[in-house]
Structure formats: C-alpha cells, structure tokens
Structure 1
C-alpha cells in the first residue's frame, strides 16, 4: 500500500512514460538533476512544488496524485481485449499494440527535439558569424 502513496515514484513513472529524462525535467524546473532525483525518492512533496512538476510534465497535479500504473496497464490492455459483448466495442478491432504506438510517438518527439536543438545551434553559429563580421568591419 505504501507504493500508492509514494508521490516521488509516481512522478518518476509518469516522467518515464512521457520519455522525459531527469535532466530535461530539471532544466524545465530550473533546478539540478540531483534535486529531481531527490523529489522522485520522496514519499511526499509540497503542493507548490508538485504543481510546478505537474506543469513541466504536462499533466494535472491530480493526475500525479491519482496515478496508478496498474490502471494504465489495464487501460492499454483493453485495446487488445476482444471479449467485449457490447456491439460498439466489437466493431472496434485494434490490430496494433497501443504501447508500441506510444513508444513510436515518444521516439518521434525525441527526433523532433534533436532536430530543433540542431537548428538552434546552427542559428546561434550564424549569429556568432554575423557578430564577428560586424566586429571586423
């Protein structure tokens, strides 16, 4: 039962499911990676801090407080469960694993993030070149 009350583990699990590294979360929160690690080891976190973490993770604070990994797994398993008797559900046949799709989306987000970082680095290099040219005139 202690697992359901450990807010730090819930934060860590949501962060992992969203494909966010501790370092990235730390940057968003303007704190150190070690502080994020300490939060994730904490059983309780002040509401003000929890609100900031929730915002950085893109979830409501209540989503963190009420997070239940078993419920998430059961939710995804319902997509592959063909035992429904309701006709509307029987009409829906999922021929892919939603978790695989989710992981694909996470990988795509990582790829886009890396592209964005590369673009920003090129823009910064270009601005440095411009500044250097202006200084040499």
Structure 2
C-alpha cells in the first residue's frame, strides 16, 4: 500500500473553478483565445503547461497556484474577495497605493505651487516698483 500523495488533476481543478465562477467552457475559450473543444481537452488532462495555466488562471481571475493547489475554501475566499457586482464605483481590491499618501502628496504639491505663485507675484511687484521709480 502506497502512502505517496496522489497527484492533483489540474484539468479537474480548472473545471471546478470555472464552474464556481459560473463560466461556460466557451467563455473561457474565448477569454484565452482557443476553442471550446480545447478547453474540454484541457479539463480532461491531468497536467497543463505553465503558459496555458497562467492564461487560464488570469481568465478565471485566480492565481495559477490556486489552480495547482486547489481547495474549495481557497477558491471561495479569492472569489469572495475579488467579486465585483458593479454596485460600487470603487474597487477596493485593486488599490496598489495608500490613498492617504496620495492625498498628502497632492497637498504638498499644491503647497509648492502656491509658494511658486507667491514668489512670481513678489517678482512682479518688484519689477513694477522698479519701473515706477524710473518714471
């Protein structure tokens, strides 16, 4: 009796994740630029090359590692955290910066611009005074 772990069936994992995303084979095929028949063959395969797997993962909206190490719980967490039903115009999951930092940067930039404006006005006043002195 062997105690070696059974290899994961990548095709079955793809199929299950696709079904959880409520996506048909045809939609996945269009998303990665292939045919529905190719998707059917891929889902029947025990292994998938890395390039195809990364394209499929991107189309399904999950990392390739999630497909390789499929677990229902992991997929539900990722789908739950990345699902956008369109009810909000702000997508909190794709923010790659701290909004407060950006706000502070904008305030600092405005402060610099205001100081430059004040300096330009001072230079204008000095020039006008100089011109008045000549008269």
TM (normalized to structure 2)? 0.50
1:14 aligns with 2:17: yes
Greater helix content: 1
Q: How many residues align?
A: 78
Aligned residue number for residue 46 of structure 1: 49
Aligned residue number for residue 96 of structure 1: none
In the alignment, the residues of structure 1 paired with residue 17 and residue 10 of structure 2 have an alpha-carbon distance, to the nearest angstrom, of 11
In the alignment, the residues of structure 1 paired with residue 49 and residue 74 of structure 2 have an alpha-carbon distance, to the nearest angstrom, of 25
Residue from 36, 61, 66 that aligns with 1:63? 66
For the aligned residue pairs, the C-alpha RMSD in angstroms reads: 2.7
Aligned residue number for residue 34 of structure 2: 31
Alpha-carbon deviations, 1:61-87, whole Å to 9, x = none? 011111123x459x79xxxxxxxxxxx
Unaligned runs of 5+ in 2: 87-135
Q: Which runs of 4+ in 1 moved over 4 A?
A: none
Instruction: Report the CA distance between 1:23 and its aligned residue.
Output: 0.5
